[in-house]
Amino acid sequence: MYSQLDRNRLPRHAAIIMDGNGRWAGALGLLRSAGHTAGVKTLKKILQTAVDLELEALTVYAFSTENWKRPLAEVDFLMHLFSEYLEKEKREMHENNVRIRFLGRTEEFSPLIQSQIRDAEQLMQNNTGVKFNIAANYGGQDEIVRAAKKIAARVLDGELALDQIDDKLFESELDTGESPPVDLVIRTGGDLRVSNFLLWQSAYAEFWFTQTNWPEFSPEEFIAALVDFGKRERRFGAIKST
């Protein structure tokens, strides 16, 4: 697969909806939590692949604003896993020159997780490698509403005129601020939906879906998605150039 990859046709920004942990575990007679633990291992491999390929940005969906609807025990487990992941992985990420950022309402996490998030972001803030965004307590609609509120506040303060609001300005108030637009969205687990992920940023993204559940997603399949992306013709509303 590597041999088919044209490095000049990689997405600048790939985003992944890491779905299917629970179903993977269920099919093996395991608890859903075992699926989440296995999913973390996959994430480690996929981030390493992004580092090896020198992708500009990788965003992963770890926890949605809707995932609070799950049983408390599962939410607690995910929080614990999240905290453990940051603790264990941040050194290696830093050594890999990764720049981590969190998207979403992180202020609703426990004080411990909030401080881990701040520490990780600070540690890696000057890194120049892969921009690695973790969407945690993230919802695309929520992000857009928060951006609109920030802009409205600036208008009320007299700092900004209505006419100055355009798509660039709006984009700069989104959580993804410095990452380029999303080129490719991958969803594992077989469902064909967006589930409130990067609604603004994926306006012109290519989509790639797989039945594979996240714990079984591999660097090889990731590369297959990137190869497929490289073959697509993106028109952005224009017509085919001749």
Is residue 194 within 8 Å of 177, Cβ to Cβ? no
Known active-site residue 19: yes
- Strands 184-187 vs 131-138: parallel, antiparallel or unpaired: unpaired
Alpha-helix runs per DSSP H in the chain: 21-27, 32-53, 72-95, 111-124, 140-156, 167-172, 219-231
Burial 92-125 (b: 16+ CB within 10 A, else e): ebbebebbbbbbbbbeebeeebeebbeebeeebe
Residues near 178 by beta carbon (within 8 Å), at least 6 away in sequence = 131
Position with the least CB separation from ligand IPE: 22
Q: Binds 78, which of ligand IPE, Mg ion, none (CB < 5 to 8 A, cut-off by type)?
A: ligand IPE
Pick from 37, 49, 195, 218: which binds ligand IPE (CB under 6 A)? 195
Q: Does position 56 bind ligand IPE by CB under 6 A? A: no
Site string for Mg ion, 16-55 (x = CB under 5 A): ---x------------------------------------
Burial 193-207 (b: 16+ CB within 10 A, else e): ebebbbebbbeebbe
Distance between alpha carbon 17 and the CA centroid of its chain, in Å? 7
Provide, rounded to whole angstroms, the least separation between the CB of residue 196 and ligand IPE: 8
Known active-site residue 126: no
The catalytic position among 6, 19, 166, 167 is 19
Provide, rounded to whole angstroms, the least separation between the CB of residue 30 and ligand IPE: 12
Site string for ligand IPE, 58-97 (x = CB under 6 A): ---xxxx--x----------x-------------------
Q: Does position 62 bind Mg ion by CB under 5 A? A: no
Interface positions with Mg ion (CB under 5 A): 19
Which residues are designated catalytic? Answer: 19, 67
